[in-house]
Amino acid sequence: MRNRKKEGVVKSLAKTIRMTVLVAGLLFVASLSNAQDGLRQPASERLGIYHWFGQTPGLGQTPEPRQATASEASGDGLSRAVGDIERFGFRTVRIFVGGRYDYLHPLRSPHRFAELQEPVTLAKILALPRYKRILENPQFKTMWLTAYPVFHYGEGPDEIDLRRPVAEHEWQQEYQQLREMVEWLYRNFGGLDKVILISNHEADEKLLEALNSAGRQELAVDNVVRDLDTRFRAVADGRREFPAARLKVFSGVEVSLWRLQLGRTAAGNYAKQATGMNALGAVLPRLRFDFVSFSAWETVAQSDVAAVLSTALEEIEKRTQRGLTTAGREFFGPRHVLLGEFGYAREWKLPQAAVAKGIHAVLKLLDSGQLRYAVYWQLYDNAAEGIKQFGLLDPGGEFTCAGEVLMTYLREEEALPTQVAFCRSEMAEAVR
């Protein structure tokens, strides 16, 4: 009798194990299927362009002649850019959403967002016609929002100040604004088959700013961690309220330092150098995220861009697997590290062949599936201080070398162009 009972228990246990394995197998297959979502789009749809504070070419000097629209005549830099983005053929667009810049006035202008009643919030900004139009544009399948909740410290709309201890009500305000923005996105675009990526801009820069202001590593790291964690929770909680939506919204963390670190110099300040700390090592292990964005300035000027960038992506993927959410794993699969920024400045005086070779290294990674998304910095030359000439179009509206390479790629039927028609002959040799 005991043997029969034992045999029955064993059979029951074996059946339970088989069912568990079967269910796990089905879930794994479903996960693999979902993980292909990010690759079902052609590679050309996952190549994006960043439009930030740029030197918008004069009217009539864009790639193809056209009549100025009412929004262009009013100086709306966001709507003016849409025509150029459409002509290039980009399906992924990254823009800034925050208090410091409104695409109507210069950066930190005292007149920014004058049309909004205070307090200015992210949801109010996206509801403005120039922002809403770009979000609902049917050509743009993925919109990447570099979003910073709006704070008011006495000099116009701004973003949270991480250089000192942050009050609890400020963290609550940050959470509330981001969640409100996510819920606004679902209410207005939940029925559309679009992807919205939401991220910060280069956590290492915020970390560096906090280190040099506060001088305390613990405070700087804790503030950046709390900031990014608050952002993630707000997006995740907002997304959870709309389980049936077709719209997909994901929250990511952007870093810019891979091998480089932030270390104290002989002068006592912090700067980028070989030793020290960075966000990848000190911040991301304490976070959850749907994706990681790598702002790839550490790799783009290398002689062998393809090998260095591939190594960087693989290493960052391995180091950040533990923080990846189920939603991120299902959509992005094992390739959850996106290229949030890459580009080439004309001030660098690189040969056109080197520019073409570097860009094509990124395009090949997109085509191979190692990259889900890559975003070029930027559409127009930068209007801020520092190195400026990254634009696909120069201030006169003419194609730059980078613009010609990407225009050719986006307009070609084949996976990769075999030559570039517009740049000089040596560039064509680089991509054969």
Percent pLDDT > 90 in the chain is: 73
Q: Span 97-125, mean pLDDT? A: 95
- The band of 423, judged by pLDDT with boundaries at 50, 70 and 90, is low
DSSP secondary structure of 72-127? HHTT-HHHHHHHHHHHHT-SEEEEEEBTTB-SSS-TT-TTTTTTSPSSP-HHHHHH
Question: What is the tally of structural domains in the chain?
Answer: 1
- With the CA atoms of 90, 405, 364 and 335 taken in that order, what torsion angle do they form, in degrees rounded to the nearest 10? -40
**What's this model's pTM, rounded to 2 decimal places?**
0.86
The predicted-structure confidence for 223-279, as pLDDT tens digits, reads as follows: 999 999 999 999 999 999 999 999 999 999 999 999 999 999 999 999 999 999 999
Best CA proximity match to 236, nearest among 325, 109, 152: 325
The predicted-structure confidence for 342-351, as pLDDT tens digits, reads as follows: 999 999 999 9
- The band of 425, judged by pLDDT with boundaries at 50, 70 and 90, is very low
- Residue 342 in any domain: the answer is yes
- Pairwise CA distance, residues 192 & 188, whole Å: 9
- Residue 82 in any domain: the answer is yes
Q: What is the pLDDT of residue 10?
A: 42
Say if CB 342 and CB 16 are below 8 A apart. no
Close Cβ partners of 343 (under 8 Å, ≥ 6 residues apart): 300, 376, 377, 378, 390, 402
Say if CB 294 and CB 258 are below 8 A apart. yes
Of 49-53, 182-186, 293-297, 416-420, the range with the lowest mean pLDDT is 416-420
Say if CB 172 and CB 229 are below 8 A apart. no
- The band of 215, judged by pLDDT with boundaries at 50, 70 and 90, is confident
The predicted-structure confidence for 282-295, as pLDDT tens digits, reads as follows: 999 999 999 999 99
CATH number, domain of 232, equals: 3.20.20.80
Q: How many CB atoms lie within 10 A of CB 67?
A: 7
Residue 233 has which token pair? Answer: 């929770």
- Pairwise CA distance, residues 148 & 182, whole Å: 13
**What's the CA angle centered on 140, arms 89 and 132, to 5 degrees?**
130
Helix, strand, coil tally for the chain in percent (to 5): 45, 15, 40
- With the CA atoms of 129, 78, 229 and 226 taken in that order, what torsion angle do they form, in degrees rounded to the nearest 10? -110
- 324 beta partners: 289
Given a cut of 90, whether residue 368 has pLDDT beyond it is yes
Domain span including residue 41: 36-430
- The band of 139, judged by pLDDT with boundaries at 50, 70 and 90, is very high
- Pairwise CA distance, residues 198 & 252, whole Å: 6
Best CA proximity match to 166, nearest among 213, 108, 236: 213
Q: What is the pLDDT of residue 84?
A: 95
Q: What is the pLDDT of residue 75?
A: 64
Say if CB 335 and CB 372 are below 8 A apart. yes
Given a cut of 70, whether residue 319 has pLDDT beyond it is yes
- Residue 355 in any domain: the answer is yes
Most confident of 63-72, 253-262, 296-305, 418-427: 253-262
- Residue 363 in any domain: the answer is yes
- Give the mean pLDDT of the chain: 86
Say if CB 160 and CB 174 are below 8 A apart. yes
- Residue 349 in any domain: the answer is yes
Residue 199 has which token pair? Answer: 């991220």
Tokens 């930068």 belong to residue: 382
- Residue 51 in any domain: the answer is yes
- Pairwise CA distance, residues 223 & 229, whole Å: 10
The predicted-structure confidence for 70-98, as pLDDT tens digits, reads as follows: 343 346 889 989 999 999 999 999 999 99
Q: Span 326-355, mean pLDDT? A: 95
- Residue 16 in any domain: the answer is no
**What's the CA angle centered on 160, arms 155 and 161, to 5 degrees?**
80
Say if CB 140 and CB 129 are below 8 A apart. no
- Residue 8 in any domain: the answer is no
